[in-house]
Structure 1
Amino acid sequence: MHRISMVAQKTPRVVPPGFWFDDEVSFNDVQGFGSERPIVVLDSGVGGLTVVRQLERLIPGASILYVVDNDWYPYGNKPGSAVAGRVQQLFDQLCNQVKPSAFVLACNTASIALIEHGFEPRNHHVFSVVPLIEEALEVSVSKQIVLLATPGTVKSDYICHKVAGARMHANLWSMAAQSLVTLSERKLSGQKPDFKGFSDWVSDQLTAKERLSVDTVILGCTHFPHLIDELNEIFPSVEHWVDPANKIALQVFALTGARLASTHRPAKAAIFTRQRGASHYQRVLRKNGFISSWSYILSALEGGLGRGVTK
């Protein structure tokens, strides 16, 4: 787990990123959260909601702005240098508009891209998720471990180094499971995902004996905790699903918990980097209490926090 303090860059950019509510109002044209300093959570899709749930459990009074970078979905199959540059660009823009109390990069691929490509910003509180390989070694009894992550994460030098070290103490299979991101998004949108292709792929990677010996799975993508029920059918002997969401929420709480205590219902808003396709996310966002509407934010800032929220 890494905590990065990012600095908003002052270098002008040719095409600044745009942010949109689902009601087609440009977030760039409004006054953000006013005096509120929300926790900003960024992912290319809705996988980061696994982190949001832990934040809400520990800091129920915090307002949260969930940023869906759907214009770049998914991060997991893109070059690390490009992802790192994109995230820095989004961070710069959001810091100018929102001045977040904390910035949570709820994507393992993007977090590792920042680490590997020299982004060491300062003076802003940025928290990033990475696969908890050391923690998996501690909890595994059989020392038969699987890492499920995106290709960008699995192929990164950072993870290759971590995996090589772990293999001195355990059998660790590192599996680039990009298809799980799509399956997770389908499940969250209300569709029934078909796991046969993924199950067959796992069978090509592991023998039945190896698969049944696995007692620990590292969830190296924030989308994957949404699929634990389905994954449990493929890895039925697993006792530990190692998910970094709680750890990062504890870190954010240590920084912001007392300051963000609130006596009113906090605002929960979602914005997108592309207008087209934003409605695709409405079901899962509303189910998790998020509204993508400027009129909702305006009402919240005027004291009607949470009014009209339906789940």
Structure 2
Amino acid sequence: MTDPRPLLFFDSGVGGLSVLAPARVLLPNAPVVYVADNGGFPYGTRSEAEIAARVPALLGRLAERYAPRLIVVACNTASTIALAGVRAALDLPIVGTVPAIRPAAAVSRTRVIGVLGTEATVRQPYVDDLSARFAGDCLVLRHGSAALVRLAEAKLAGEATDPADYAAALAGLFGQPGGERIDTIVLACTHFPLVADELAAACPHPVGFVDGGPGIARRIAWLTQGQAWPEQPAPGIAVFTAPILPAPGLRATLAGFGLARIEQLERADRSV
């Protein structure tokens, strides 16, 4: 017996693809629904109250429509603000995404760590707690950048991006007192691993990058161990919450991640 229930990945945009990719390596036959909340994008500049209200309600609709076996909130901002609300609202496994401060502290030699996320993520008390628990002997510098989120979206849509824009975003980290000693940067937004090469080229000195994608993939595999999967991989579905006509570059990117079908939430029975 095979089980057709999908894994549902949720983000404000295309950032969650950086979590989907390692999950598909571990679970290649898993049916996948990937949801981009373009109707609420970008989350990083929204208030905590807006996100806390929007995400559980939206995931409730998605769970009813797609009947997933597990939901991955593949968005640091949504996870740090709304994860408790999602878990309270839905009776199924929920995997969140939090800044990878613990693994960053484990590898940093200078004991100076940068946390690069959205404005909403880097100001959360959850980041204070992670820093105190796992990086107490480190200087943890934070910077929020909405520009990097838009750069990642543009890159995955096939648009050219300017190297100077990546350098400008990084200046918010390296320009802080002690920033010249950063040797490890936590990519605390799922969009940012998708532009890791561009970020590396723009850094004033070599650094290591850490993100939560591989750890989340292992968590998904552990939570679903022993469950039945289809015998062959099935084409995944990309769902947008607001009307969209994806550009050819974005369609190609989604297809490269195994998402061959594109739907809109309000009429998900019809392809775009």
Q: TM-score, normalised on structure 1?
A: 0.76
* Aligned position for 1:282: 251
* Aligned position for 1:70: 38
* Aligned position for 1:85: 53
Contact 1:218 1:241 in 2 (8 A): yes
* Aligned position for 2:6: 38
Q: What amino acid is the match of 2:121?
A: T
**Aligned-pair CA distance for 1:201:** 4.8
Structure 1 range deviating more: 188-197 or 243-252: 188-197
**Aligned-pair CA distance for 1:86:** 1.1
* Aligned position for 2:211: 243
Specify the SS of the correspondent of 1:120. Answer: helix
**Aligned-pair CA distance for 1:119:** 5.8
CA distance in 1, matches of 2:35, 2:252: 16
* Gap runs ≥5 in structure 2: none
The 5 Å alignment of 1:189-268 reads 189-203=157-171, 205-207=173-175, 210-235=178-203, 236-238=205-207, 240-268=208-236
CA distance in 2, matches of 1:285, 1:193: 19
Contact 1:116 1:158 in 2 (8 A): no
**Aligned-pair CA distance for 1:287:** 2.3
CA distance in 2, matches of 1:237, 1:147: 16
* Aligned position for 1:158: 126
Specify the SS of the correspondent of 1:72. Answer: coil
**Aligned-pair CA distance for 1:206:** 3.0
Contact 2:56 2:86 in 1 (8 A): no
* Aligned position for 1:144: 112
**Aligned-pair CA distance for 1:190:** 1.2
Q: TM-score, normalised on structure 2?
A: 0.86
Structure 1 range deviating more: 170-179 or 261-270: 261-270
1:53 to 16, 21, 25: 21
The structure-2 alpha-carbon separation of the partners of 1:89 and 1:117, relative to structure 1 and needing over 3 Å to count, comes to: closer
Contact 2:141 2:176 in 1 (8 A): no
The structure-2 alpha-carbon separation of the partners of 1:96 and 1:230, relative to structure 1 and needing over 3 Å to count, comes to: same
Specify the SS of the correspondent of 1:40. Answer: strand
CA distance in 2, matches of 1:258, 1:165: 33
**Aligned-pair CA distance for 1:195:** 3.1
2:260 to 291, 294, 303: 291
CA distance in 1, matches of 2:177, 2:221: 42
CA distance in 1, matches of 2:110, 2:139: 9
The structure-2 alpha-carbon separation of the partners of 1:85 and 1:209, relative to structure 1 and needing over 3 Å to count, comes to: closer
Q: What amino acid is the match of 2:18?
A: T
Contact 1:59 1:260 in 2 (8 A): no
Structure 1 range deviating more: 51-60 or 198-207: 198-207
Specify the SS of the correspondent of 1:71. Answer: coil
CA deviation profile, 1:9-44 (whole Å, cap 9, x unmatched) = xxxxxxxxxxxxxxxxxxxxxxxxxx7210000111
The structure-2 alpha-carbon separation of the partners of 1:48 and 1:205, relative to structure 1 and needing over 3 Å to count, comes to: closer
Q: State, as a whole percentage, how many aligned pairs show the same letter.
A: 30
* Gap runs ≥5 in structure 1: 1-34, 299-311
Specify the SS of the correspondent of 1:96. Answer: helix
CA deviation profile, 1:287-311 (whole Å, cap 9, x unmatched) = 22212357xx99xxxxxxxxxxxxx
Q: What amino acid is the match of 2:117?
A: A
The structure-2 alpha-carbon separation of the partners of 1:268 and 1:276, relative to structure 1 and needing over 3 Å to count, comes to: closer
2:142 is aligned with 1:174: yes
* Aligned position for 2:73: 105
Specify the SS of the correspondent of 1:291. Answer: strand
* Aligned position for 1:302: none
Specify the SS of the correspondent of 1:230. Answer: helix
**Aligned-pair CA distance for 1:156:** 1.4
Specify the SS of the correspondent of 1:70. Answer: coil
Question: Aligned-residue CA RMSD in angstroms?
Answer: 2.5
